[in-house]
């Protein structure tokens, strides 16, 4: 049974692709020229998936958004053209590594780790602050997003089509075989959509410039944001990053983004680091929590820049997966075991490995 709102299964589109190619071409052309999308293309079915055992709170579930597969085909066409325009015209800042050609988690972490190790060699100190936005993809303003698209040169028919794409979107929640009432979506980019992440990084593409602070380096991966300041020890060391925080607070408020104070963390690096305290919204109650080890895009950074913690974690994770596979199998076939290793265990071990094992 198909789960999407239009009840058209993906396998049907794949099996009949040759026959459907021209009708879909006609449909997509009509949609783009008229700036209209069928209602079913803008309706999502949300399936809550438990993140932990014995889930009891809505926060214990991860919402999976199921969308029309036909809509996603057209989105892919729009996406390809948008990316060409964005990369050709250098719309996005170099600090943004998420959902971009030739950039990745690894490229972002390599840049960061290179800066941090150089600081240690130069006997400098570093404070790295990790910021967390609460439901960032869901909170952004459609009007502000559309205004920003105009400002970067996305106008005409494409702008009108994106306006229609964002407007009058709806969703309903499915639990087992039951559905909730249909509700309207009034903000955010569509979750589970092809265009969603790209529209989001365009929305915050002005963040580095608006929050620019001398000496502060910003690194982004979609909505994951960190900022760090490298310097020789001095009494005014912490004031530079605190100044950046103040600018970020203003930017976030102006752009309907909300910092999750309890999830923002700071990593102090360097033997002479005074381990200064930083606050959000000028309140010591909302002081940023200090950590000795922080999970950064799936890689665990320690304040001494060693990899003990990360290696222990990935070895433990790989072992758990391996034991689960062994217990579930009734074969000793080397071919099958090797394939399972390549699919389930090797990615755990090799994820972002150039960072700690160049």
Quote the mean pLDDT of the chain.
Answer: 92
- H-helix segments, the chain: 10-15, 17-34, 69-88, 105-121, 136-139, 142-151, 156-166, 196-203, 207-210, 237-254, 308-328, 334-340, 346-350, 353-356
Its sign, for the CA torsion 145, 151, 154, 155, is positive
The per-residue pLDDT for 69 is 92
Contact 137, 188 (CB under 8 A): yes
pLDDT in tens, 295-349: 999 999 999 999 999 999 999 999 999 999 988 888 888 899 999 999 999 999 9
CA distance 344 to 352: 16
**Alpha carbons 133 and 225: distance in angstroms, whole number:** 9
Share of the chain above pLDDT 70, in %: 98
pLDDT for the residue 7: 83
Question: What tokens appear for 246 in the block?
Answer: 């103040």
Domain-wise residue ranges, the chain: 10-92+142-202, 105-136+205-302, 308-356
What is the pTM (predicted TM-score) of this model?
A: 0.91
Report the percentage of the chain scoring pLDDT > 90: 77
Cα of first residue to Cα of last residue in the chain, in angstroms, is 46
Query: What average pLDDT does range 77-97 have in this prediction?
Result: 95
3-state helix, strand, coil in the chain (%, to 5): 45, 20, 35
pLDDT of residue 285: 52
Given pLDDT bands bounded at 50, 70 and 90, which one contains residue 1? very low
What CATH number matches the domain at 105-136+205-302, 2.40.50, 3.30.70, 2.60.120, 3.30.930? 3.30.70
In terms of DSSP bridges, do strands 169-175 and 43-50 run parallel, antiparallel, or are they unpaired?
parallel
């Amino acid at each position: 049974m198909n789960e999407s709102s239009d009840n058209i299964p993906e396998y049907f589109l794949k099996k009949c692709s040759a026959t459907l190619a021209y009708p879909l071409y006609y449909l997509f052309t009509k949609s783009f020229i008229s700036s209209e999308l069928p209602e079913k293309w803008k309706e999502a079915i949300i399936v809550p998936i438990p993140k932990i055992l014995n889930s009891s709170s809505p926060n214990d579930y991860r919402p999976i958004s199921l969308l029309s597969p036909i809509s996603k085909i057209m989105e892919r066409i729009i996406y390809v053209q948008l990316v060409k325009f964005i990369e050709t015209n250098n719309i996005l800042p170099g600090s943004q590594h998420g959902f971009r050609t030739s950039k990745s988690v690894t490229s972002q972490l390599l840049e960061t780790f290179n800066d941090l190790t150089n600081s240690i060699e130069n006997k400098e100190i570093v404070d790295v602050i990790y910021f967390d936005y609460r439901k960032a993809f869901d909170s952004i303003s459609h009007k502000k997003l559309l205004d920003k698209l105009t400002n970067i040169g996305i106008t005409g028919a494409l702008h009108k089509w994106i306006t229609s794409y964002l407007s009058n979107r709806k969703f309903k929640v499915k639990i087992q075989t039951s559905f909730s009432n249909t509700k309207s979506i009034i903000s955010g980019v569509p979750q589970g959509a092809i265009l969603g992440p790209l529209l989001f990084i365009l929305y915050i593409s002005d963040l580095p410039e608006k929050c620019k602070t001398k000496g502060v380096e910003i690194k982004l991966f979609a909505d994951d944001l960190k900022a760090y300041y490298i310097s020789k020890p001095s009494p005014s060391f912490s004031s530079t990053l605190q100044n950046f925080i103040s600018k970020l607070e203003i930017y976030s408020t102006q752009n309907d983004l909300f910092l999750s104070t309890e999830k923002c963390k700071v990593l102090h690096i360097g033997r002479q680091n005074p381990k200064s305290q930083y606050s959000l919204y000028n309140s010591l109650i909302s002081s940023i929590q200090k950590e000795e080890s922080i999970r950064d895009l799936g890689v665990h950074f320690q304040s001494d820049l060693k990899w003990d913690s990360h290696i222990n974690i990935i070895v433990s994770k790989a072992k758990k997966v391996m034991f689960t596979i062994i217990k579930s199998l009734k074969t000793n076939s080397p071919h099958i075991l090797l394939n399972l290793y390549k699919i389930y265990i090797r990615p755990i071990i090799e994820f972002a490995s150039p960072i700690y094992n160049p």
